[in-house]
Amino acid sequence: MAGLILRRDIDEVRSRINLGDVVGEYVTLKSAGVGSMKGLCPFHDERSPSFHVRPQVGYYHCFGCGEGGDVFTFLQKMDHVSFSEAVERMAARIGFELHYEDGGAPSDYSSRARLLAANDAAREFFIEQLMTPEAEVGRRFLGERGFDASAAQRFGVGFAPKGWDILGKHLRSKGFTAEELTAAGLTSAGEKGSYDRFRGRLIWPIRDQTGQTVGFGARRLLDDDKGPKYLNTPETLVYHKSQVLYGLDLAKRDIARSHQVVIVEGYTDVMACHLAGVTTAVATCGTSFGVDHIKVMRRVLSDDTAGLGEVIFTFDPDAAGQKAVLRAFSEEHRFAAQTYVAVAPDGLDPCDLRLGRGDDAVRRLVTGKKPMFEFVIKQRLSTFDLNTVEGRVAALRAAAPVVADIRDPSIRPGYARELARLLGMDLGEVGRAVDAAGRSSEHAASRELESPRLAPAAEGGPASITSLEVAPPVAISLTSLPSTTATRLERDALMAMLQFPNSVGKDLLARGTAVAFSNGALAAVRDAVAMRLNSFDKPEWAAIIQETVPDPVKTLVAQLAVAPVPERPERELDVYLQQVVLSLVERDLVRRKEELLGQFQRTDAATQPEEHRSLQRQLMQVEADRRALRE
């Protein structure tokens, strides 16, 4: 029976563990100010990093989903271990000897830890077997694909002997039970007892981000093996094929550093890419690339709304490869990073490409990537006869939604022009088709918050809160806001107003809420601040604003009230808070100046003298107001 770990030992382990190092094995963290780090939350899917870690105090918190705790809580949630197992793992990490109440013993790791230990022992066994005479067929397979002993060692490639129960006997002799081996997916239960799952096959260890072996992939080698070409570990407590990527443990640091990931189709493709210098390559394990893989990849890539990263898919050009591209494209919107497709002209995969043409060819494959949108547009057009009017019209209908789905408005027109060129059709006609596709229901919802129209401030102060026509009747959060310069400024100004109203000051609060906003949801918060301005110095200021806004915006107010602002010394912080609101005011003055200037230029001084002079006075006043802001 496992005993309870002494409280003082728990506290000692917690104090000696660097939380940032532990979390960093799962999440790519970046500096977020003095003593703070941040990354994409591992507990929910998000576009903007809201997961904050403070190693000095040993605590993490996600401003997106509310998850928080210490290093033990993190491991419990990430690895599904008990509290005792989490403490024991961290104690082993730092070489600390734990003590238990009433002379109790450590937990027996009967679940996850035991399965990981069995997998690790199996990994060592498979590696040893690769050097045996029986494994000649496996070594020959590797050699024929350009992999020597050094490459096999680098990737931990091994061999499973053909015998019925060789691995099982070996592991049972090391203290593992038959039940544990079956639970780990290493053996299967039969009528005459258990037998090895992998027999007569080449073996690749599948590791998680921390380097622990969670499962295996096995390639058929023998002609009399009637099983599938590739056989993987079944779903277990530690192996979930929809959440693991082969090679991620080797590639994660280069992925985080270069903001690039290359997704290939097989184990040998990963090996070929890494050996050729493309060290950001990973592969799925017996399943197609899906939503859970994307969540894992985005955390490692640190794929936030900046959209600076690259996700490059390599697929065979055959029908199966084309289908895989379309599957990946259907999930493209989940990435903030730019997505690409890399296909060799002759259809060779990275392994065959390296074998036939060398490492440079693999590197050129990746550098010669094409934007996924371009690839999919051409693929859609290829199924139609563009020599007929009917074929071109049908092709336009098929390709227009692809262009409409492009998130970045700065490149969408370029693809519309390219589509018009490929079809030989008028740009206006193509543009109308794209606009129509963009107005369909599946696109309208995603762009509701991205309307460029300004939500004006009410004249003389708002009499009522912005209607739900501006703030859609769905819960709105910081992560759902569009990543535009205008929206970011409005967001930051409201964070200053909600979190530090006294530093901003009542007068500046009033000026900041009298300007037009580009985002409807944030405009609703602005209106609430203006309406409740007399309560700005009350301790419950943020709660008052949250009570005032429409229901769909309440979550947004809560997040604005706790989201971290740039850390600065107190005096510099006050300057920053005031400046961000002043920038909002100046933006509105610039907008007002442009409007007045347009009216002024359209007014004839000879026939409309009064209106001309009035506009001139207003322009002068706007310029005076702008100068006053800078003083």
DSSP 80-117: ---HHHHHHHHHHHHTPPP-BGGG-B----TTHHHHHH
pLDDT higher than threshold 70 for residue 246: yes
Residue 150 lies in a domain: yes
pLDDT digits (tens, 9 = 90+) for 119-173: 999 999 999 999 999 999 999 999 999 999 999 999 999 999 999 999 999 999 9
pLDDT digits (tens, 9 = 90+) for 532-547: 999 888 766 887 888 8
Question: How are beta strands 281-283 and 260-264 bridged, if at all?
Answer: parallel
User: Are 435 and 476 part of one and the same domain?
Assistant: no
Average pLDDT, the chain: 83
pLDDT higher than threshold 80 for residue 468: no
Judge contact between 92 and 124, C-beta under 8 A.
Answer: no
Check residue 476 and give its pLDDT. 83
User: Are 498 and 613 part of one and the same domain?
Assistant: yes
Which of 212-216, 272-276, 385-389 is least confident? 385-389
User: Are 495 and 538 part of one and the same domain?
Assistant: yes
Residue 444 lies in a domain: no
Q: Which residue has the higher pLDDT, 168 or 193?
A: 168
User: What is the pTM (predicted TM-score) of this model?
Assistant: 0.60
pLDDT higher than threshold 90 for residue 367: yes
Query: Is 506 in a helix, a strand, or coil?
Result: helix
pLDDT higher than threshold 70 for residue 336: no
Most confident of 165-174, 473-482, 568-577: 165-174
Which residue, among 277, 278, 271, 286, has the nearest Cα to 352 in the 3D structure? 271
Q: Which of 368, 397, 413 is the last residue of a domain?
A: 368
Q: What is the rounded (10 degree) CA torsion for 388, 392, 393, 396?
A: 170
Check residue 362 and give its pLDDT. 95
User: Are 204 and 140 part of one and the same domain?
Assistant: yes
DSSP 279: T
Q: Angle at CA 228, nearest 5°, toward 227 and 234?
A: 95
Check residue 350 and give its pLDDT. 94
User: Are 22 and 66 part of one and the same domain?
Assistant: yes
Judge contact between 30 and 39, C-beta under 8 A.
Answer: yes
| SS3 of the chain: helix, strand, coil, percent, to 5 | 55, 10, 35
pLDDT digits (tens, 9 = 90+) for 195-204: 999 999 999 9
Check residue 451 and give its pLDDT. 38
Residue 240 lies in a domain: no
Q: Which of 185, 203, 232 is the last residue of a domain?
A: 232
pLDDT higher than threshold 80 for residue 587: yes
Query: Is 68 in a helix, a strand, or coil?
Result: strand
User: Are 427 and 470 part of one and the same domain?
Assistant: no
What's the whole-number mean pLDDT along residues 341-354?
88
Q: Which residue has the higher pLDDT, 167 or 409?
A: 167
Residue 152 lies in a domain: yes
Distance between CA atoms of residues 226 and 221, nearest Å? 10
Residue 523 lies in a domain: yes
Percent above pLDDT 90 for the chain:
32
Q: Is 77 exposed, middle or buried (0-12, 13-18, 19+ CB in 10 A)?
A: middle
Distance between CA atoms of residues 214 and 326, nearest Å? 29
549 membership: H or E segment, kind and range: none
Band (pLDDT 50/70/90 cuts) for residue 54 is confident
Check residue 376 and give its pLDDT. 85
Distance between CA atoms of residues 77 and 56, nearest Å? 21
Check residue 306 and give its pLDDT. 52
pLDDT higher than threshold 80 for residue 277: yes
Check residue 178 and give its pLDDT. 92
Check residue 371 and give its pLDDT. 86
pLDDT higher than threshold 50 for residue 377: yes
pLDDT higher than threshold 90 for residue 268: yes
DSSP 282: E
User: Are 476 and 569 part of one and the same domain?
Assistant: yes
Check residue 482 and give its pLDDT. 86
Q: Is 604 exposed, middle or buried (0-12, 13-18, 19+ CB in 10 A)?
A: exposed
User: Are 92 and 162 part of one and the same domain?
Assistant: no
Which residue, among 516, 548, 515, has the nearest Cα to 529 in the 3D structure? 548
Check residue 201 and give its pLDDT. 97
User: Are 74 and 36 part of one and the same domain?
Assistant: yes
Q: Which residue has the higher pLDDT, 316 or 221?
A: 221
Band (pLDDT 50/70/90 cuts) for residue 34 is very low
Q: Which two tokens stand for residue 12?
A: 């000692």
pLDDT higher than threshold 50 for residue 43: yes
CATH (domain of 97): 3.90.580.10
Judge contact between 78 and 42, C-beta under 8 A.
Answer: yes
CATH (domain of 420): 1.20.50
Band (pLDDT 50/70/90 cuts) for residue 461 is very low
Check residue 107 and give its pLDDT. 57
Tell me how far CA of residue 292 lies from CA of 43, 298, 306, 334, 589, in angstroms: 12, 10, 21, 11, 46
CATH (domain of 126): 3.90.980.10
User: Are 311 and 341 part of one and the same domain?
Assistant: yes
Structural domain tally of the chain? Answer: 5
User: Are 24 and 88 part of one and the same domain?
Assistant: yes
User: Are 129 and 207 part of one and the same domain?
Assistant: yes
Residue 1 lies in a domain: no
The set of residues, in sequence order, having a beta carbon less than 8 Å from that of 461 and lying 6+ positions away, is 514, 530, 531
What are the backbone dihedrals phi and psi of residue 253, each rounded to the nearest 5 degrees, phi first?
Answer: -70, -40
Q: Which residue has the higher pLDDT, 458 or 526?
A: 526
Q: Which residue has the higher pLDDT, 287 or 400?
A: 400
Residue range of the domain that includes 462: 453-631
Residue 446 lies in a domain: no
Q: Which of 103, 130, 158 is the last residue of a domain?
A: 103
- The distance in angstroms from the start CA to the end CA of the chain is 73
Check residue 312 and give its pLDDT. 92
Residue 163 lies in a domain: yes
Check residue 463 and give its pLDDT. 36
